[in-house]
Chains A and B, each alone.
Chain A
Amino acid sequence: MTEQVPTADTVTPTGETLNVLHKRFKKAVRQDDRDGYDGILIDPARLVEVATAARDELGYDYLASATAVDYLGKGDHLEMVYHLCRTSGGPALVLKAQTPRENAELPSLTGVWSGADFQEREAWDLMGIRFTGHPNLKRILLWEGFDGHPLRKDWREAYYEADQKPFDSRWPDGHVRRAEQDNPYGKNVRYPDGFVLDEYQSTAEDALYADVALGLDVSADLATERVVVSMGPQHPSTHGVFRMIVTLDGERIEALEPVMGYLHRNHEKIGERNTFLQNMPYTDRLDYICSLSNNLGYALAVERLMSLGSRYEPPTYRAEAIRVLMAELTRIVNHMWAIGFLLNDLGAFFTPMMYAVTERELILDFFEATTGSRMMCNYMRFGGVAHDIPDRMRSEASLINDRVRDENTMEYLHKLINERLPRAIDQFDEYLTTSEIVTNRCIGVGVLSTADAIAASAAGPVLRASGVPYDVRRADPYSIYADLDFDVAVRYHGDVYDRYLIRLDEMRQSIRILKQVWPLLMDTGGQPFFAGRGGIYSPRVPAGESYGRVENPKGELGYYVVSDGGQNPRRYHVRAPSFINLTALEQMCKGHKVADVVAILGSIDIVLGETDR
């Protein structure tokens, strides 16, 4: 990356850790010495012991990401990759465990970190690794009864055309065809051989209710009837197509199981067919409120890989300044949206939302003028950004009744940062923070303790509201954050109210950062916004792995990218904060009233595009 603060932490933690672990576990641990790889390979039999030692003795208390990679044709094994971090900061320690593709089985780490729960279920669902000791190993994104594990390299979808893009059928003899035309059903479906419809019984729905206890609760003095309620996927307060199976005793929540995958649109499988550049616009559609910071994380991951090779030029200073500007404006957009919707969920239906959206629209005007789109910005490139900030935000009339606007971009930004947004944030603070609608519904509701938040791999505002000052911008600085002056916002009660307050705090910190970035942009005006030669659509990405992480508004967003040295990634995994933050949802909701579920969910602030990918 760029010249960052040369702290001791930027040295990879593998070496020193390996020495410590080697003394105890001898041959069970060894260095991953493949080219471009880093980390420690662990004998699956001792995985739990090593993980426990890493957590308790080495201080790696936070499981950032756990994912599987299929090395078909390159060792023919499946590999589980764990990224561990210290909540006190520093780069990630990478642990890996391999298992054969047939009857893939690994010990579950849910006993060490509860945050491994959903990630292991995802690995089972999509890669087919069975985790022994996992309490609830069910499919998470697809449904029970689905045929196969789709992220395996030899699994092909119904509309399969080729292993990687670009497809040969598009040029030079590109006769247009819809994929439906080649499928016997005219649909995106494919059934296993020998599938007989008439004997088939769908298990998708039954499996959800299999473990739910129904009937009378005889343990209590007064026998009450348990009710099981399915909330969602169509529900005005689930922020999209999220579903929960809630077991109620009266109004009190006894158990809650999140059901997701209703927006599982195969981001990772498509990402592995795409070239590196082609993934950029797809990342926009992960957390579709914060497309620009998603871009940044992916650009970092691929740049980290590219820096392994020769002829790599890091992004220019101006490019980094523009990136930070975009990322922080995105944070404000997201938190405005989150607070507006939290109030929506609390019952202040749509009015606070209207004011939040107004501010968002004004930021979006700038995004649209600079990147070309309101939401799907597709703006970052490997080595910089796609365009410079325009001198003027001007429009031309092309449709009837078009009304044009023309403003100086930097002046617009200055006014936005110094006047409009601070005023809007203050207004939210003034009217909402002490409002009894907010205080009565939020204080003391959905408490997540510090220890639980760390164990459950919660990230972003959820983690920081529970008293953990962990922010990737400070813990593992990227871009120019190391040079910028800002505080990591922390709150200590871990309830819905603190998660609301921390978003206000973070918006104020973002304004503080933006005020520092604006002069940088003025100073670097006219300097290149892209390093190296432009116009390269298939950059050379050397073989290896990298994990690029950024502090997205919703938490740590990580991209784990494995390259073979070809045009497209072998593995492309997204560590989605919205997905992993949901691990702690049941814990937060237990014992509360059913109406609190929407408030708690609103305070976690999930986006389904990222949760389900």
Chain B
Amino acid sequence: MYGSGVWRGLLVTLKHFVATYVDDIRWGFRRRNPAAFPVRQSLDGRGVFTVEYPEEKIAVPERFRFIPFLVVDNYDHPERAGHDWCTSCGICAKVCPPQCIWIVRGSDPDSGRPVPEPDAFYIDIDLCMNCGLCAEFCPFDAIKMDHDYELASYDRTSNHIYDKRRLSKEFRYWQSIAPTIAEQEASARGGWEHKDVLKQKAKDAKAVASEQAE
């Protein structure tokens, strides 16, 4: 029959329309019911599929990648408050496909020898392709991919090159956005601290042990 394609198509839409209201009744007419959200957004979702963005947002999964950030020790850390995890080894700058990372290696003002922390660290987010290779290959777990995607602005000339201050975030933040990954990394390192700190601790413990043995 001519025209059947049209009304059959409309039937699908109608079915969906009805399903939306059935689904609504099921959740007690609460459109933004937090308990309903995971079900509606899952494979069982039947009715409306829409996420009403600013009022409800889909939380991004732990592995989500957006602009990178630098991990620093918690600001209330007893010894190393706000200390960079980055040792300015430069691996992230080397693997970065669009070459959007600039690092000034730190040096001791007196001797001029390199020290394991960056003097300056820049990421041009107009170049960054969010590929995550920097975070993947960082041997110190010092650069991580952020989950904050709400970065729209009215101007790019002044604020699209992120400097060290803008990039640094507490280790606690990384733990909060990706707890499982942070835990896996910590167990690979052998503790929650920075790799070098753990190494130093192990060294000290060894020295103490050998002293005691003597």
Contact = CB atoms under 8 A, between A and B. Distances in A.
Q: Do chains A and B directly touch (beta carbons under 8 Å) in the complex?
A: yes
Interface of A: 165-167, 169-178, 274-275, 277-282, 284-285, 348, 351-352, 355, 358, 361-362, 365, 368-373, 376, 378, 386-387, 390, 392-407, 412, 415-416, 419-420, 427, 431, 434-438, 535, 537
A376 B64 CA distance: 11
Contact of B43 (A279, A396, A416): A416
Contacts of A368: 60-61, 63-64
B136 interface: yes
A373 B65 contact: yes
A136 to B, nearest CB: 36
B60 to A, nearest CB: 6
A177 B179 CA distance: 35
Most chain B C-beta atoms within 10 Å of own C-beta, residue among A170, A351, A378, A434: A170
Contacts of B2: 436
Interface in B134-173: 136-137, 139, 145, 147-148, 150, 161
Given A368-B63, A378-B132, A403-B37, 6 more contacts: A275-B95, A372-B63, A372-B132, A373-B132, A403-B51, A436-B3
B91 A537 contact: yes
B97 A274 contact: yes
Contacts of A535: 137, 139
Interface in B112-149: 114, 120, 122, 124, 129-133, 136-137, 139, 145, 147-148
B5 A405 contact: no
B186 interface: no
Contacts of B5: 434-438
Nearest to B95: A537
A178 B42 CA distance: 43
Contacts of A395: 58-62, 64
A176 B122 contact: yes
Given A174-B93, A351-B9, A387-B63, A396 B133 contact: no
A385 B91 CA distance: 20
Interface string B1-43: 0111110110011000000000000000000001001100111
B186 to A, nearest CB: 16
8 contacts: A170-B90, A171-B105, A177-B102, A277-B95, A280-B131, A355-B12, A396-B59, A435-B9
B43 to A, nearest CB: 5
B43 A362 contact: yes
B180 interface: yes
A401 B55 contact: yes
Contacts of B51: 403
B54 interface: yes
A369 B64 CA distance: 7
B135 to A, nearest CB: 9
B97 A282 contact: yes
B88 A172 contact: yes
Given A175-B102, A281-B97, A372-B132, A402 B64 contact: no
Contact of A176 (B59, B96, B147, B161): B161
Nearest to A414: B43
Most chain A C-beta atoms within 10 Å of own C-beta, residue among B34, B60, B122, B176: B60
Interface of B: 2-6, 8-9, 12-13, 34, 37-38, 41-43, 49, 51, 54-65, 88, 90-91, 93-97, 99, 101-105, 114, 120, 122, 124, 129-133, 136-137, 139, 145, 147-148, 150, 161, 176-180
A367 to B, nearest CB: 10
B17 to A, nearest CB: 12
B9 A402 contact: no
The 10 closest A-B pairs by CB, nearest first: A435-B5, A174-B102, A281-B131, A172-B105, A171-B90, A395-B59, A176-B122, A278-B97, A402-B59, A372-B63
B176 A369 contact: no
Most chain A C-beta atoms within 10 Å of own C-beta, residue among B55, B63, B148: B63
A377 to B, nearest CB: 10
Given A372-B63, A437-B5, A537-B94, A170 B133 contact: no
Nearest to A361: B49
Given A170-B101, A170-B102, A176-B102, A396 B177 contact: yes
B130 A376 contact: yes
Most chain B C-beta atoms within 10 Å of own C-beta, residue among A178, A358, A369, A395: A395
A281 B61 contact: no
Contacts of B59: 395-399, 402-405
A435 B104 contact: no
Contacts of A406: 38
A398 B12 contact: no
A42 B134 CA distance: 45
Given A378-B131, A416-B43, A170 B65 contact: no
Nearest to B10: A351
B133 A281 contact: yes
Contacts of B56: 401, 403
Contacts of A434: 5
A362 B64 CA distance: 16
Contacts of A373: 64-65, 130, 132
Contacts of B12: 355, 427, 431
Contacts of A285: 129
Given A172-B104, A396-B176, A537-B137, A166 B93 contact: yes
B101 A174 contact: yes
Given A277-B95, A368-B60, A437 B132 contact: no
Contacts of B148: 398-399
A403 B95 contact: no
A124 to B, nearest CB: 29
Given A281-B131, A395-B62, A172 B54 contact: no
B104 A393 contact: no
B9 A371 contact: no
B99 A167 contact: yes
A386 B129 contact: no
A415 B43 contact: yes
Contact of B61 (A394, A431, A436, A438): A394
A514 B28 CA distance: 38
A348 B41 CA distance: 26
A514 to B, nearest CB: 14
A418 to B, nearest CB: 10
A281 B90 contact: no
Nearest to B39: A405
A397 B42 CA distance: 17
B114 A172 contact: yes
A438 B8 CA distance: 13
Nearest to A399: B57
A373 B63 CA distance: 8
A172 B41 contact: no
Contacts of B61: 368-369, 372, 390, 393-395
Contacts of A427: 12
A171 B130 CA distance: 20
A282 B127 CA distance: 13
Contacts of A282: 97, 129
Contact of A178 (B103, B124, B177): B124
